[in-house]
Structure 1
């Protein structure tokens, strides 16, 4: 089993990289819309939501690129895990307060149109699965085809 962990970690690293690159890429084109999605959670002022909404896509893209390259994998997995816990807490909070919003994870987010239902349970399950990927990388960060291996001289 010890020989398969680098491959399992590689799949986890690349999958989590794809998640962050897609999520950040979908938001980076309209930072005002990203701010509105953050504001829909009703946890911050609009000014704070604008800052978070503007920074979040770039943070997600940066995490995705670092994971894709395999640079500082354990550290990046830790930051990813914290971010995912924040996302999960936000969704749980919105659900508990009866808000009718789209989580904005892979979309523009914000208030749901009349007749549309929330998918909070599925959103949370999805993010818990992403958190599990980060957990794998925290536990076993060594993976194939990563810059960490080159920098640490692994495989020489």
Structure 2
């Protein structure tokens, strides 16, 4: 079986970068547009002390936006992918613990959030979706190289030429 070419893998990396960036940018933009609702969503998880809820609710949208911009531009791709993976694991854990504790909340991942009726919870779908996003972060952690990234542009090295006698 033929292995994918470097060019094909770089293109896949670009698509993964754009996909993960879209997740962070859309999620962050929705949350930043209604910080009060973000506070309600974070509070609904019933995990943090009151003072920490405010800090997380205020900071999370901006963290998501920063991650989105960095991964979209391809700057610090591996580090951004690792941070993305950690954040996504925290989201998955938060949804899973809510489900396990019998809480009836909307995750607030893309706006909304807070208490809902028991029939309105979508924990399995939310976890599956976040696992899909996590796979994007894992790809970029393992293979951060992609087309049109600032990482690639900043690390371009001049190729040395060797003459016929082996001198550079």
Question: Which category describes the TM-score, using the shorter chain as reference length?
Answer: over 0.9
TM-superposed CA distance for 1:45, in Å, is 1.8
TM-superposed CA distance for 1:107, in Å, is 1.5
Task: Please list every run of 5 or more consecutive structure 2 residues that lacks an aligned counterpart in the other structure.
Answer: 160-168
Matched, 1:77 2:88: no
CA offsets per residue over residues 32-72 of structure 1, 9 Å max, x none? 22111101000012221111000000000000000111100
- 1:21 aligned residue: 25
The alpha-carbon distance between structure 1 residues 154 and 20, as it changes in their structure 2 partners (threshold 3 A), is farther
Answer yes or no: is the 8 Å Cα contact 2:37–2:111 preserved in 1: no
Answer yes or no: is the 8 Å Cα contact 2:89–2:134 preserved in 1: yes
CA offsets per residue over residues 78-102 of structure 1, 9 Å max, x none? 0000000000000000000000000
SS at match of 1:107: coil
Structural RMSD (CA): 1.5
Rounded to whole Å, the distance in 2 between the matches of 1:101 and 1:123 is 12
Paired residues for 1:57-96 under 5 Å: 57-96=61-100
Rounded to whole Å, the distance in 1 between the matches of 2:157 and 2:105 is 46
Task: Please list every run of 5 or more consecutive structure 1 residues that lacks an aligned counterpart in the other structure.
Answer: none
CA offsets per residue over residues 17-41 of structure 1, 9 Å max, x none? 0000000000002222211110100
**Which 4+ residue blocks in structure 1 deviate beyond 6 angstroms?**
none
Q: What's the TM-score once normalised by structure 2's chain length?
A: 0.88
Answer yes or no: is the 8 Å Cα contact 1:149–1:155 preserved in 2: no
Rounded to whole Å, the distance in 2 between the matches of 1:2 and 1:43 is 46
- 1:151 aligned residue: 154
TM-superposed CA distance for 1:2, in Å, is 3.6
Answer yes or no: is the 8 Å Cα contact 1:32–1:54 preserved in 2: no
Rounded to whole Å, the distance in 2 between the matches of 1:29 and 1:92 is 26
Matched, 1:109 2:113: yes
